[in-house]
Copies of this chain bind each other. A is one copy, B any other.
Amino acid sequence: MNAARLEAFSDGVIAIVITIMVLEFKTPHGDDLKSLIPLAPAFLSYVLSFIYVGIYWNNHHHLMHTCKTVTGAILWANLHLLFWLSLIPFTTGWMGESHFAVLPTGLYGFILFMAAIAYGILQYLVLSPQGKESPVRQSIGNDWKGKLSPLFYLIAILCTGWHESISISIYAAVALLWLIPDRRIEKVLDN
A interface with B by C-beta (< 8 Å)? 1, 5, 7-9, 11-20, 22-25, 27-28, 31-33, 36, 47, 50, 54, 57-58, 61-62, 65, 72, 75-76, 79, 82-83, 86-87, 89-90, 93-94, 97-98, 101-104, 107, 179-181, 183, 186
| Chain B neighbourhood of A28, CB < 8 A | 94
Number of copies of chain A assembled together = 4
Report the Cα distance A14→B94, complex, angstroms: 25
Give the residue of B9, B20, B54, B82 whose beta carbon is less than 8 angstroms from that of A79.
B54
Task: Find out whether the CB atom of A103 lies under 8 angstroms from the CB atom of B50.
Answer: no
Is chain A's binding surface mostly helix, strand, loop or mixed?
Answer: helix
Task: Find out whether the CB atom of A5 lies under 8 angstroms from the CB atom of B104.
Answer: no
* Given A19-B16, A32-B103, A93-B27, residue A5 in contact with residue B61 (CB < 8 A): yes
Task: Find out whether the CB atom of A83 lies under 8 angstroms from the CB atom of B27.
Answer: no
| Chain B neighbourhood of A24, CB < 8 A | 27
Closest B residue, CB atoms, query A180 = B72
A47 CB, nearest partner CB in chain B, Å: 8
Report the Cα distance A170→B18, complex, angstroms: 30
Give the residue of B27, B32, B86, B98 whose beta carbon is less than 8 angstroms from that of A22.
B86
A20 CB, nearest partner CB in chain B, Å: 6
Task: Find out whether the CB atom of B22 lies under 8 angstroms from the CB atom of A20.
Answer: yes
